[in-house]
Amino acid sequence: YSMTEVGAGEPLVFSYGDSTNPSNLLARYGFLDESSAATFCKYVIENPTFEMFNLGYPNSMYFYNDGGISNEVWDVLLYELLKGTSLEEQQAFYQAHMSGDEATKQYYHEQYFPQTLAVLQTHVDYLVNELDDLSESSWRKTFRKDQHRHPRLPLILRHNNFVREIFELVQQNLDGMAS
């Protein structure tokens, strides 16, 4: 139904939600939006805290199709890293975030950049390898690409390739930061 009156001949628009999550669009609606500018970074935290949600987990944790990484990815990873390093610094970082103190946030990001970078590189490397395992060549060996038995397989493979390409660009970006 419509919340406003729609006249005859007026176009109707249906929003599928967040276009930066092609995986969700595939799972919920059965199509792949390859024009999406980003995809979720797919970093999963068991039992995320209220603070992590305020830092942007998971809704703003994007990898962009140019290899860019959203600030929220760095913020959440640093906050999680500080949990194991210094609860005092973790709280100071969070307070800086909440108060908009970018200078203090930047200080912590610079202090812990090598460690945060290593965590993110490990995550990205792992997922690129996983997506390689889910590539078309591995599926051919397993299912011989029987499209009658697996009619959604070509779409799933396109999705995995789309996500892998973005992750590979992020991987190159991270490798450049490490050198």
Count of C-beta atoms within a 10 Å radius of residue 61: 24
DSSP annotation of 55 reads H
What integer pLDDT is reported at residue 142 of this predicted model? Answer: 62
Residue carrying the six token digits 């970082």: 93
Gap between the Cα atoms of 144 and 38, Å rounded? 31
pLDDT tens profile 95-138: 999 999 999 999 999 999 999 999 999 999 999 999 988 876 66
Alpha helices in 60-135 (DSSP H): 71-83, 87-99, 102-111, 113-133
Joined tokens for residue 156: 């799933």
What integer pLDDT is reported at residue 136 of this predicted model? Answer: 67
Closest CA to 58 of 154, 106, 70: 70
Gap between the Cα atoms of 75 and 68, Å rounded? 14
What integer pLDDT is reported at residue 35 of this predicted model? Answer: 86
Q: Within 13 Å, how many C-alpha atoms sit on residue 168's CB side?
A: 10
pLDDT tens profile 37-62: 888 899 999 999 999 999 999 989 99
Residue 22 has pLDDT above 70, yes or no: yes
pTM of the model: 0.85
Closest CA to 62 of 51, 53, 72: 72
Higher local confidence (pLDDT), 50 or 30: 50
Residue 15 has pLDDT above 80, yes or no: no
- Give the dihedral sign, CA 73/83/124/32: negative
First to last CA, the chain: 55
What integer pLDDT is reported at residue 146 of this predicted model? Answer: 62
Gap between the Cα atoms of 157 and 50, Å rounded? 35
Please answer whether residues 79 and 86 qualify as being in contact, where contact means their C-beta atoms are separated by less than 8 angstroms: no
Give me the chain's average pLDDT, please.
Answer: 89
Residue 148 has pLDDT above 80, yes or no: no
